[in-house]
Amino acid sequence: MSLRDALRIPASEITEESVWHDRRRLLAALAASPALGLAGCAEAEPTPPPRRPAATPAQVRAGFATREELTRYADVTTYNNFYEFGTGKADPSRAARTLRTAPWSVRVDGECEKPGTVPLEDLLRGLSPEERIYRLRCVEGWSMVIPWLGVPLAAVLERFRPTSKAKYVAFTSLADPRQMPGVRLPVLDWPYREGLRMDEAMHPLAFLVTGLYGKPLPQQNGAPLRLVVPWKYGFKGIKSIVAIRFVARMPPTSWNMAAPEEYGFFSNVNPDVDHPRWSQRTERRIAGSASKLFAERIPTRMFNGYAEQVASLYAGMDLRRWF
Ligand code: MTE
């Protein structure tokens, strides 16, 4: 048996993917995204977003479709970044032992008319979960294709009626040392923080995730609620969110605070802008039967392949400066 064969997925694990196939009908039911009231209203720094809608419903639908091979459930759930549980890729998969994900509530405040601390069930009430197959491209040069389950971020944010002063959205993760052993170490300035410009947050591709492969989200992947912004590097996908704040100024973000010359606020996937210590031109896809070690590198695409949908958000911006 060749090494490659030896690394192939055992049949017992393939069943995970049959779950996903059942969920495909969800996609069929996915209607065009409704017009998003707030898209394009923010006069955000450093350049105002375009006045016209960032993406047509047809473009948004095209953004979900992919013929790329899915990353195996086993890899999605054992090869993780979640520093609250340690810096090793296998560390977060032990998170389930300590991270309690129910009851869970999210504090939403700042520049909005209806702030509040809302139980997760209420935050999502009336929003039917959608499946979206999005790529996750990590700044370290690997990527995955994952069938996520969740709701459009815009649909949740609109419930709190952000005002015209809301130019950015800031997200905060739980940071509880009793549940998250990594928080006891000064690896990052806890809690983990992320942010989006308002027009990015309201873009129909931005997604709040509650599950994957048709199942509830595992703790190591950011249960019970995490962000996925498919055209940005994976670290923008903040996990285990406990607070959302509408703000007037660009909010501090964890990786930008830790190393500003390496991680910018926007963090759009861009093969033309290298990380200071390595190239971003190619990625190693963790997918299907290919092993992590021996998968061939593939070219990284601008905006992670979502340029058609999102490039207009950054029209006129110098993406080398605003990386
Ligand atoms: N969120 C929190 N709270 N803490 C983290 O360490 N890591 C980020 C992001 N969200 C991280 C986080 C990084 S670097 C990546 S690449 C993705 O989560 C990884 O998501 P995954 O483990 O579900 O693939």
Q: Is the CB of 305 under 6 A from ligand 1?
A: no
- Note the pTM of the prediction, 2 decimals: 0.85
Q: What is the mean pLDDT of the chain?
A: 86
Task: Name which residue sits closest to atom 14 of ligand 1, judged by CA.
Answer: 235
The predicted-structure confidence for 4-53, as pLDDT tens digits, reads as follows 343 343 434 434 444 444 444 333 333 333 333 333 333 445 555 555 56
Task: Name which residue sits closest to atom 11 of ligand 1, judged by CA.
Answer: 82
Q: Is the CB of 232 under 6 A from ligand 1?
A: no
Question: Whose CA is closest to 103, among 83, 85, 118?
Answer: 118
Q: Is the CB of 237 under 6 A from ligand 1?
A: yes
Task: Name which residue sits closest to atom 22 of ligand 1, judged by CA.
Answer: 80
Find the mean pLDDT for residues 235-239: 98
Per CATH, is 3-79+98-173+188-314 categorized as 3.30.70.920?
A: no
Which is more confidently placed, 23 or 54? 54
Torsion sign (Cα): 24, 26, 32, 33: negative
Cα–Cα distance for residue pair 233/237, rounded to 1 Å: 8
CA of 28 to the centre of ligand 1 (A): 29
pLDDT number for residue 49: 53
pLDDT number for residue 28: 34
CA of 248 to the centre of ligand 1 (A): 25
CA of 171 to the centre of ligand 1 (A): 13
Q: Is the CB of 235 under 6 A from ligand 1?
A: yes
pLDDT band at 277 (very low <50, low <70, confident <90, very high): very high
pLDDT number for residue 22: 45
Cα–Cα distance for residue pair 284/297, rounded to 1 Å: 5
Find the mean pLDDT for residues 101-128: 98
What six digits make up the tokens of 86? 């340690």
Q: Is the CB of 243 under 6 A from ligand 1?
A: no
Residues 6+ apart with CB under 8 A from 139: 233, 234, 235, 263, 267, 275, 280
pLDDT above 90 covers what percent of the chain? 75
What is the CA angle 167-173-179, rounded to 5? 170
